[in-house]
Amino acid sequence: MKKIFHNRFKPFETNLDYQNTLDTLQNAAKGADDCELFLEHSRKEDFTLQDNILKNANFSNIQGFGLRVVKGEKTGYAHSNEINQKSIKRAAKSATKTLGSDQNKISSPPKGKNAKFYEASDPINEFSVFKKIQLLQEIDSFTHQLDPRVVQTSINLSSSIQEISILRPEGSKFADTRPMTRLNISVTVEQNGRRESGTSGLGGRHKLDVLMNSKSWKPLVKEALRIALVNLTAVGAPAGIMDVVLGPGWPGILLHEAIGHGLESDFNRKKTSAFSELMGKKIAAKGVTILDDGTIPSKRGSVSIDDEGTPGAKTTLIDNGQLIGYMHDRQNARLMGLKSTGNGRRESYAFPPLPRMTNTYMLPGSDDPESILSELKDGLYAVGFGGGQVDITNGKFVFSCNEAYRIKNGKILHPVKGATIIGDGVTALRNIKAVGNDLKLDPGIGNCGKSGQWVPVGVGQPTLMIGGLTIGGVKI
C-alpha cells in the first residue's frame, strides 16, 4: 500500500491508498472549476496560572480532512475527523451534490517556490510540562516582587503544531508544518481601593525557547505592570470629534479591521465592501502605503503556503494613497479574472478557505513621531487597543482603547480610560495627516475572526495622525 503524500514535503502519514484517493478526487472534480483534499493533524498545549494556582492545563490532538469542490460561485464542502477511504468517498459524493454536471476545465494548480518562512519544529516537545509550569510560577513570583500593589496575575503559555497536506485532482501535492507559540501576561494592581489591569504578550511561529528566556518574558511583565499603573491614574475619556495620534505597532489592528477586511476579494467581488468599485482610485492620503505580507519570517500571520497550496506572498494593497490590489483566494481570484495572492486561509479542516489577511501593515513615512505628537493641539494619543469591530458594507468601525492619553498643545495631560474610537475606513484613510518613520509590527498576539473562523494574523504601522475621529467617552 502506497501511503499518501510520501515525499520530502510529507508532514504526516495516513493509511490512505494514494491512487484510490486520487481517483476519488478526480471523479469529484469532473465538471468543476477547482477541487482539493485538505488533510490536517494538529496538536495544542495550553497552561494558565492565576495567582500562582494552575487553573488550566489542556492538551488537544485533532485530525481530519476537508474535501472541496468549486463551480462558479458555488462551493460543495464536506469534512470528517475520520481519515479513511470510505469517509473520503462519502465526502466526495456529498460535496458534488448541488454543483450540476456541466463540463468545466479544472483550474491549474498553484505555482511558486517552496520557500519556508518558519522552522518545521514542534514547540510542544521542547520542554517538559514541569519546566513550563515552573516558568509560569517564576513569572508570577517576579511580578509580585516588582511592585507591592500587584494583587492578581494571570499568565498563559500556549504552543501548537499544525501539519497539513493538500492533494489536487491532477496529482499535485503540497504540505506545510506550522509551529506557533504565545505567552500572555495580565497584571492587576490596587491602590486606595481602586483596581486596574494591564496586559502584554509575545508570540509567533518559532520555538518555545524564545519565550522561555527571561530576556523575553521579563520585559513583558514590566510592560503589563506599566500599563496597569498608568490606568490607576486615568480619568474618564472625553467625548467628541477630535484628531487622534495612533502609536506604532499594535494600533495597526485598527487598520486591519477598518480597512483590511474591506480589501478582501470576496467582499469586493460581491460589491458589499465600502471599497468596491474603487480600484485604481485615490482612496488614502499621500504617503499611505499598505501591504499584506505572509512572507515575514516567524511572524504569527505568515504562511509558507496558504490553505489552498498557494505560496505566501507580499501584496501591495494601497500604494501612495492609490488602491491597487485586493487579497485573493483561488475562487474569488478566478471569478474576478485575477490570480490568488496566497490569502486562502481556513481555521481547520472543518472549514472551507476564505480570503483572509496574513500580516497587514502600513509602510513608514518621513515624519518624526515626536513632531507628530507635538502638532496635536487638542486630541487623543492612543497607544494600546482592546477589541474592535467593523461593518464591511460601510466601513464603520468602533474600537476600545486600553491605553490612551489626553493631549493639548502637544503635551500629555493625563491618561484616560474608557475611550472608544469611532469612524469609517474610507474617511479615516483620507484624513491621515502624518505618517511616522517608526514602523513597528505587533508582538505576535493577534487573531482574526470572519464567518465563524479564527486564524492567526499580524498587524503593524508607524505613528499616525488621523483627523476628525469620533471619541466616545466615559465617566469614572
pLDDT at 4: 43
Three cell numbers, residue 157: 503559555
Each residue of 329-380: pLDDT tens digit?
A: 999 999 999 999 999 999 999 999 999 999 999 999 999 999 999 999 999 9
Looking at the chain, the whole-number percentage of residues with pLDDT higher than 90 is 89
pLDDT at 1: 36
Question: Does residue 297 have a pLDDT over 70?
Answer: yes
Contact (CB, 8 A) for 357 and 290:
no
Three cell numbers, residue 263: 480589501
Tell me the pLDDT band of 196, cut-offs 50, 70 and 90: very high
Burial 94-128 (b: 16+ CB within 10 A, else e): bbbeebeeeebebbebbeeeeeebbebbbbbebbe
Q: Read off the pLDDT of each residue in 386-394 and give the average, rounded to a whole number.
A: 84
Q: Read off the pLDDT of each residue in 231-252 and give the average, rounded to a whole number.
A: 95
Tally of CB atoms within 10 A around 131: 11
The residues, any chain, with a CB within 8 Å of residue 165's CB and separated by 6 or more, are: 4, 5, 10, 11, 12, 38, 39, 173, 174, 175
Question: Does residue 2 have a pLDDT over 80?
Answer: no
Residue 256 carries which DSSP code?
I
Cα angle 93, 99, 104; round to 5: 105
Contact (CB, 8 A) for 89 and 80:
no
Three cell numbers, residue 439: 514602523
Question: Can you name the residues that pair with 422 across neighbouring β-strands?
Answer: 398, 470
pLDDT at 474: 64
The residues, any chain, with a CB within 8 Å of residue 441's CB and separated by 6 or more, are: 249, 252, 296, 299, 359, 361, 458, 459, 460
Q: What are the sequence ranges of the domains in the chain?
A: 18-232, 236-472
Q: At what angle do helices 85-95 and 18-28 cross, to 10 degrees?
A: 10
Three cell numbers, residue 236: 474618564
Q: Which of 65, 176, 21 is nearest to 110 (CA)?
A: 176
Q: Read off the pLDDT of each residue in 411-427 and give the average, rounded to a whole number.
A: 94
pLDDT at 100: 67
pLDDT at 29: 94
Question: Does residue 215 have a pLDDT over 70?
Answer: yes
Residue 181, Cα to own-chain centre: how many angstroms?
14
Give the integer Cα–Cα distance in Å for 376 and 436: 14
The residues, any chain, with a CB within 8 Å of residue 31's CB and separated by 6 or more, are: 71, 99, 100, 101, 102, 103, 104
Q: Which amino acid is located at 54 in the chain? A: L
Each residue of 82-99: pLDDT tens digit?
A: 999 999 999 999 999 877
Each residue of 41-52: pLDDT tens digit?
A: 999 999 999 999
Burial class (CB in 10 A: 0-12, 13-18, 19+), 59: exposed
Give the integer Cα–Cα distance in Å for 428 and 321: 12
Each residue of 146-178: pLDDT tens digit?
A: 999 999 999 999 999 999 999 999 999 999 999
Helix (H) or strand (E) holding 426: helix 425-430
Backbone angles phi, psi at 225, to 5 degrees: -65, -40
Contact (CB, 8 A) for 416 and 404:
yes
β-pairing, 446-450 with 464-472?
unpaired
Helix (H) or strand (E) holding 210: helix 209-212
Tell me the pLDDT band of 113, cut-offs 50, 70 and 90: confident
Mean pLDDT over each residue of the chain, to the nearest integer: 94
Tell me the pLDDT band of 102, cut-offs 50, 70 and 90: low
Taking domain 18-232, whether its CATH number is 3.40.50.720 is answered by no
Q: Read off the pLDDT of each residue in 413-435 and give the average, rounded to a whole number.
A: 95
Three cell numbers, residue 384: 494600546
- In this prediction the pTM is 0.94
Backbone angles phi, psi at 193, to 5 degrees: 80, 0
pLDDT at 475: 58
Give the integer Cα–Cα distance in Å for 21 and 89: 8
pLDDT at 387: 73
Contact (CB, 8 A) for 291 and 256:
no
Cα angle 273, 337, 278; round to 5: 35
Q: Read off the pLDDT of each residue in 265-281 and give the average, rounded to a whole number.
A: 95
